[in-house]
Structure 1
Amino acid sequence: MKIFQQAFAIRERKRGFHLITDEVVNAFPELREIKIGICQVFIQHTSA
């Protein structure tokens, strides 16, 4: 089993729902090698 952990920041956006998949994949290039798995993202913000 492979585990990756890293802190990263995403750019600010206006209020609403936003797709952040590209930013997550760019922050973790190792994800491109994984075919099946789980990605858990913790967004530390009061309005998230």
Structure 2
Amino acid sequence: MMPTAKGCAKWLVRNFESCSNKTEIIMSRCHVIYAIMRGEPIQ
């Protein structure tokens, strides 16, 4: 994975940790990280 994508993924994980709905956070996090790894635009 590119260093920029890793940085973005870590930043997103830290921001999602402060939310309350854990299931929604986990799914969002997985989608975002998967999109970053594939180089797709994040929706």
The two structures have a TM-score, normalised by structure 1, of 0.33
Structure that is richer in helix per residue: 2
